[in-house]
Amino acid sequence: TDRITSICCIGAGYVGGPTCAVIAAKCPEIRITVVDRDPDRISAWNSDSLPVYEPGLDALVKRQRNTNLTFSTDIDRAIDQAQLIFIAVNTPPMPHTHGSSSMGAKPDLSAVSECARRIARVSLTDKIVVAKSTVPCGACATIAGMLRDNGQKGVGFSVLSNPEFLSEGTAVRDLLHPDRVLIGGDDRVAQDKLKAVYMHWVPEPRILTMNTWSSELAKLASNAMLAQRVSSINSISAVCEAVGADIAEVARGCGSDERIGQKFLRPSLGFGGSCFHKDIASLIWLSESLGLPEVAEYWHQVLALNRFQIKRFVARILADTSREGGLSGLGGRRVACLGFAFKEGTGDTRNTPAADVCCELLRNGAKLSIYDPRVPRHHIVDKLAMSAASNCDIDSVSVCSDAYSAIAGSDIVVVLTAWSEFRQIDWEQALKLMSQPAYVFDGQVVLDHGRLEQLGFNVFSIGRAHVTTQ
Ligand code: NAI
């Protein structure tokens, strides 16, 4: 009864799938069942093409599936058989209440609550319930209350907070070599049991036990601080463009200070993905509800700066390209959009800045040819069609299967995701495929701008003073 040998994970998404694959690989004596209410997701995990793209994940899942890792829709059975249950379901922000000007948003915990009620109803033996989903402070206490109120007589529950710090695109590496694992709770025995699972591959000093509130808040604060770094370097990128500075040099100049560090100082179109927006909004909401409007306002600026970056990128495209030929806006111009995922290394498009840029370009009359190496065509179309509620013209969009077909016949190339393969494009060839004069707007600072200028492109890159004049 001491060691955990049976785990259930509810939620087979970006977090649940990779996390359990790694636990299964590192803990051969533990049987793990990942369950989800979405049967399509489960059959995809059981198929040849997994629902989540992560480097290294395919091999890992395919190996463990034959041994101690199972994907199933039978949630009740998996709960019943497990000693420890991870809750890794989604916790999206609640829609904004009408008329509220706050950027804060309470996360929607209905999926987490549903899991808690189900665990209470189904469990006939004691369970350790682990909140892996990012939840606002106090959520673990709420889960514990629900389990207590709805559980079978004589069945005991321990609730732990164990937030996940993996990044999409490097999930497997992050899970194999975490900087730290947090285990929040007030039941020492349960904490030690979860710790023993991680100790199969994580050095003990990296496993930090703490109280539940600290663990929940550390997750929100970590994401808020990472997002803040993105907004900080992006704010400086705008200053660079206005003077003669080059953001790459400034970032090197700052980052060489050990106290600052080089990581996460790349200027861009801003952060995206499912977590940063949601978790900052959650922190803002928490601060407001605790009567701390100054704190809320502080974090609000990180979100505001993120939107500013997209706005000024599009404004730059309009300003630079409508000088020619007397065309107003982008009417009739074809723009090749390279990249659509919210960052390189993933096919995820949740909150991708690329979609915002595309919508703005469409609204200004452009026609778009979009290419992303990992995002399926229908995701791009669906995403833009959804934003089309704000009247962008989805008929002006074509999705291409390689960079050259997107570039062919375009006037303007914009780089929207920092995929390294865009550096390998033969730009001399690309120039021949484009209308002249040809423009490149590098929203991710990934291309060799000097070389592009030599070839005859008009180049603009975030964070560099505008050098080319036609
Ligand atoms: P996801 O949307 O990819 O996966 C969640 C899964 O839970 C879905 O497949 C959904 O069908 C399932 N689900 C929802 N309600 C359910 C229920 N009542 N019963 C059974 N299954 C249910 O979400 P993702 O990205 O894996 O995120 C999960 C949590 O982890 C969120 O709280 C997120 O904030 C957090 N997180 C996400 C990270 C990321 O990079 N995506 C990183 C760290 C934390």
**CA-CA distance, 340 to 230, in Å (whole number)?**
19
- From 245, 280, 302, the end of a domain falls on 302
Same domain, 324 and 277: no
CA neighbor of 35 nearest in space, from 84, 82, 70, 80:
70
DSSP 97-136: PTT-------B--HHHHHHHHHHHHH--S-EEEEE-S---
Q: Output the CA torsion sign for 67, 73, 74, 80.
A: positive
Q: Residue 319 domain-assigned?
A: yes
Q: Does residue 469 form part of some domain?
A: no
What's the gap in Å between 173 CA and the centre of ligand 1? 19
pLDDT number for residue 469: 45
Candidates 87, 89, 278: which one to mutate for ligand 1, based on the most atoms within 8 Å of Cβ? 89
Residue 215 lies in a domain: no
From the CA of 348, give the closest atom in ligand 1: 41
Task: Establish whether residue 117 lines the binding site of ligand 1, counting it when its CB lies within 6 angstroms of any ligand atom.
Answer: no
pLDDT of residue 470: 43
**398 near 317, Cβ under 8 Å?**
no
Atom 15 in ligand 1: residue holding the nearest Cα: 111
Question: How close is the Cα of 452 to the center of ligand 1, in Å?
Answer: 42
From the alpha carbon of 134, which atom of ligand 1 is closest?
Answer: 32
- Whether 163 and 286 share a structural domain: no
Look up the domain containing 424 and give its range.
309-461
Please check whether residues 296 and 323 belong to one and the same domain: no
- Residue 470 resides in a domain: no
Quick one: 283 and 322 in the same domain?
A: no
Q: What is the CATH classification number for the domain harbouring 94? A: 3.40.50.720
C-beta of 459 in contact with ligand 1 (< 6 A): no
- Give the pLDDT confidence of 54-104 residue by residue, as tens digits: 999 999 999 999 899 999 999 999 999 999 999 999 988 887 765 666 788
Tell me, in angstroms, the distance from the centre of ligand 1 to residue 91's CA: 7
Q: What does each C-alpha distance from 424 to 51, 341, 427, 429 come to in angstroms?
A: 28, 18, 8, 12
C-alpha 318 – ligand 1 centre gap (Å): 38
Q: Is residue 55 in a domain? A: yes
For residues 145 and 268, state if they share a domain.
Answer: no
Distance between CA atoms of residues 320 and 5, nearest Å: 62
CA–CA dist 19, 198 (Å, integer): 11
**Is the CB of residue 107 below 6 angstroms from any atom belonging to ligand 1?**
no
Which atom of ligand 1 lies nearest, measured to the CA of 275? 34
- Please give the tally of structural domains in the chain: 3
| CB 220 near ligand 1, within 6 Å | no
Is the C-beta atom of 161 inside 6 A of ligand 1?
Answer: no
Label residues 142-155 b or e (16+ Cβ within 10 Å = b): bbbebbeeebeeeb
Q: How many residues does the chain have?
A: 470
Q: Is the dihedral of CA 100, 101, 102, 107 positive or negative?
A: positive
Residue 15 beta carbon below 6 angstroms from any ligand 1 atom: yes
Would you say the CB of residue 41 lies under 6 angstroms from ligand 1? yes
| CA of 51 relative to ligand 1 center, distance in Å | 13
Is the same domain home to 356 and 326?
yes
Catalytic residue, candidates 275, 337, 359, 400: 275
Q: E-assigned strands of 327-390?
A: 334-338, 367-371
Helix (H) or strand (E) holding 184: strand 181-184
In this prediction, residue 316 carries a pLDDT of 94
Any atom of ligand 1 within 6 Å of the Cβ of 9: no
Do residues 282 and 350 share a domain? no
Pocket probe mutation, ligand 1, options 8, 9, 14, max atoms within 8 Å of Cβ: 14
- What separation in Å is there between the alpha carbon of 71 and the centre of ligand 1? 15
CB 3 within 8 A of CB 196: yes
Q: In this structure, what DSSP letter does residue 324 have?
A: S
Q: What pLDDT sits at residue 155?
A: 97
Find the helix packing angle between 377-387 and 353-363, rounded to 10°. Answer: 60
Residue nearest to atom 4 of ligand 1 (CA): 13
3-state secondary structure 225-239: HHHHHHHHHHHHHHH
Rounded to the nearest angstrom, the distance between the alpha carbon of 146 and the centre of ligand 1 is 20
- Any idea which residue has 């706005």 for tokens? 311
Residues 180 and 73 in one domain: yes
Cα(339) to ligand 1 centroid in Å equals: 24
CA pair distance 423, 101, nearest whole angstrom: 41
**What is the atom index within ligand 1 of the atom nearest the CA of 163?**
44
Same domain, 298 and 326: no
Give a yes or no: residue 76 inside a domain.
yes
- Looking at residue 10, its amino acid is I
Closest by CA position to 343, among listed 267, 248, 416, 237: 416
Q: Is 134 in the pocket of ligand 1 (CB under 6 A)?
A: yes
* 70 inside domain: yes
DSSP H helices in 27-91: 39-45, 57-65, 75-81
Last residue of a domain, one of 302, 329, 361: 302
Nearest atom in ligand 1 to the alpha carbon of residue 135 is: 32
76 lines ligand 1 (CB under 6 A): no
265 and 335 inside one domain: no
C-beta of 64 in contact with ligand 1 (< 6 A): no
User: Is the same domain home to 230 and 351?
Assistant: no
What per-residue confidence (pLDDT) applies to 92?
87
Is residue 340 in some structural domain?
yes
359 noted as active-site residue? no
User: Based on the domain organization, do 145 and 50 belong to the same domain?
Assistant: yes
Residue 19 CB less than 6 A away from ligand 1: no
Give the end of a domain, one of 267, 302, 337.
302
For residue 113 and ligand 1, the question of a CB distance below 6 A is answered with no
Quote the ligand 1 centre to 12 CA distance (angstroms): 7
Give the CA distances from residue 172 to residues 1, 42, 168, 273, 336, in Å, rounded to whole numbers and listed in that order.
30, 19, 9, 17, 32
What does the pLDDT read at residue 62?
A: 96
Q: Confirm if 338 and 414 have CB atoms less than 8 A apart.
A: yes
pLDDT in tens, the chain (470 residues): 579 999 999 999 999 999 999 999 999 999 999 999 999 999 999 999 999 999 999 999 999 998 999 999 999 999 999 999 999 999 888 877 656 667 888 889 999 999 999 999 999 999 999 999 998 778 899 999 999 999 999 999 999 999 999 999 999 999 999 999 999 999 999 999 999 999 999 999 999 999 999 999 999 999 999 999 999 999 999 999 999 899 999 999 999 999 999 999 999 999 999 899 999 999 999 999 999 999 999 999 999 999 999 999 999 999 998 755 555 678 889 999 999 999 999 999 999 999 999 999 999 999 999 999 999 999 999 999 887 655 667 889 999 999 999 999 999 999 999 999 999 999 999 999 999 999 999 999 999 999 999 999 999 999 998 655 44
Q: What's the rounded Cα separation, in Å, for the pair 382 and 227?
A: 27
